[in-house]
Amino acid sequence: MPGDGKVGAGSMGEGALSVRIVAKSFRDPGGGRREVLREVAFSGKSGEIVGLLAPSGSGKTTILRIVLGLDRDFEGEVRRPPGRLGVMFQEPRLLPWLTVGANLRLVASDHEREIAGLLAEVGLAGAETLHPRALSLGMARRVALVRALLGRPSLLVLDEPFASLDPQAASALAALLVQAARRDGALVLLSTHDLDQLLGFADRLLVLAGAPARLAADCPTGLAAPSPGVPVMGGFKEKLLHRFPFLSAAPAPQGAP
Amino acid sequence: MIRHGGRLRAFSLAAFIGLWWAAALIARNPALLPAPPDVLAFAWQAVLSGAMPRNIAITSLRAAAAFAISMTAGSAIGYVAGRSPRADTLIDPWLIILLNLPVLVVVVLCYIWVGLNDVAAVLAVALVKVPTVMVTVREGARALDPGFDELASVYRLAWRQRALRVIVPQLAPYIAAAGRSGLSITWKIVLIVELLGRPNGVGFALDELFQTFDVAGILAYGFAFAVLMLLVEAFLMRPWEGRANAWRR
């Protein structure tokens, strides 16, 4: 029975996320329902970086939307850690009538110093007075990342955060995510096609496969204290690629669900 | 380019006055078609006596009140109809009735039911205008970006922030378009309402001038009020519309 999904905060454990999606389907134009997810259950704890990997169109964005409480038409239950949510959608979603500064202050009005500091960290110092139309896509995505990081969220959800970023900006982003997790205790949940990037700093990988997509693997990367750029040891990547060949495929275009 | 356009406009206006003057000279009947100086002379006398400024002020107040009410009510109803399919279905029959009801019927009914007073006059004008504002704003509400709604939801923005920072800026181009087209219709309806049942205002003055077939007076009032509305359009409505649309450029 679709549509009875429960999304709530807390009570499972301090800073914990618990996701149990029994089934998720979308309505077809013909009136039927197309199941996209089945038996997807995972959890995460404060300070952990969890990467979600799957072929294009397997429902990564759908899972993130369910976690954010934006899609409640599913069977199952989601428990989020209490506290602030930070989100970076696939597209920047900056309000075009507000300046960069006003966009950031809209979600964190009393964080002036943090705004200036984070903008500087992503290489956008002094961009506060610019309007989004004056930014490139990569710059706009960095502003969206700053917005997500503001206010030290307990849960940080990022959908394809490395898209449109050059390698340098991607490394800086990874460093910021590690900092948010290790220093501020945020639970970071992100989807990406970039296995290499993810292996450099994620604590755990969740791999979706099949149709409807199921959770095919939930494995720690084995990095006790991962940091961006550190090579993964022990043939972990090769094992993953052997079991899930689609992970070596070229990145899918943006906008895939 | 702008200067060139301005020159063309001035030329067009001068040609209109020239043609009018020529027609008046050919007709040789000032009672039927007075020349521009005759109309100006009437207007000057009406200004000196205070009648024209008083009547224009009264009509402007009625137009402003009706405009404010119709914009507020039309925007609110249009927003609800655009956001909720169920509300839209409920409102739609009312909308069709109001859109197709002759203006005269609305005015006469308001005077009968509310009385021959300013409340009825303003209400009649507002009732005529509300449906068109509503239709325009409903389109705006339907075009609201759901992604921004999600953003507001995830960051738990207060309703005031949501309304002022997220929703109104997206609706502003539609509200401005409704306002700009609405103003020109509103003041024309106000004149009919005044002509039918008010003891003052430009509509009432036109009625009196019609009784004596004073064409110079009718033209003087007509042009004076039209010029005032053109000024409002140029210095208030157009800049407002420009500001509302600035983020789309």
**DSSP string for chain B:** -HHHHHHHHHHHHHHHHHHHHHHHHHH--TTTS--HHHHHHHHHHHHHHTHHHHHHHHHHHHHHHHHHHHHHHHHHHHHHHHH-HHHHHHHHHHHHHHHHS-HHHHHHHHHHHH-SSHHHHHHHHHHHHHHHHHHHHHHHHHT--HHHHHHHHHTT--HHHIIIIIIHHHHHHHHHHHHHHHHHHHHHHHHHHHHHH-SSSHHHHHHHHHHTT-HHHHHHHHHHHHHHHHHHIIIIIHHHHHHHTGGG-
Q: What is residue B10's predicted lDDT score, i.e. its pLDDT?
A: 87
- Percent of chain A topping pLDDT 70: 84
Q: What residues does each domain of chain B span?
A: 50-145+171-248
Whether the predicted pLDDT of A225 surpasses 50: no
User: Residues 65..124 of B with a Cβ closer than 8 Å to A: which?
Assistant: none
Q: Which residue has the higher pLDDT, A66 or A240?
A: A66
Q: Is B247 part of the contact surface with chain A (CB cutoff 8 Å)?
A: yes
Structure tokens at A216: 């095919």
For A185, the 3-state DSSP assignment is: coil
How many Å lie between the alpha carbon of B84 and the closest alpha carbon of chain A? 18
Task: Report yes or no: B178 and B237 within 8 Å, Cβ to Cβ.
Answer: no
Superfamily of domain B50-145+171-248: MetI-like (1.10.3720.10)
Query: Rounded CA gap, A142 and B128, in Å?
Result: 49
Contact criterion met (CB below 8 Å) for A85 and B155: yes
Closest CB to B247: pick one of A93, A96, A106.
A96
Mean per-residue pLDDT, A218-246: 62
Contact A91 B147 (CB under 8 A): yes
Cβ A70–B247 below 8 Å, yes or no?
Answer: no
Residue A112's pLDDT is 84
* C-beta atoms of A68 and B148 within 8 A: no
Which chain B residues are closer than 8 Å to A154 by Cβ? Answer: none
* Lowest-confidence segment of A56-60, A113-117, B187-191 by average pLDDT: A56-60
pLDDT tens digits for range B180-189 = 888 888 888 9
Q: Which candidate from A96, A107, A133 shows the least CB-CB separation from B155?
A: A107
Domains, chain A, with CATH or none = 6-248 (3.40.50.300)
Cβ separation of B155 and A85 shorter than 8 Å?
A: yes
Q: Which residues of B, range 140-169, sit inside 8 Å of A by Cβ?
A: 147-148, 150-151, 153-155, 157, 161, 165-166, 169
pLDDT band at A255 (very low <50, low <70, confident <90, very high): very low
pLDDT tens digit string along B98-119? 999 999 999 999 999 999 999 9
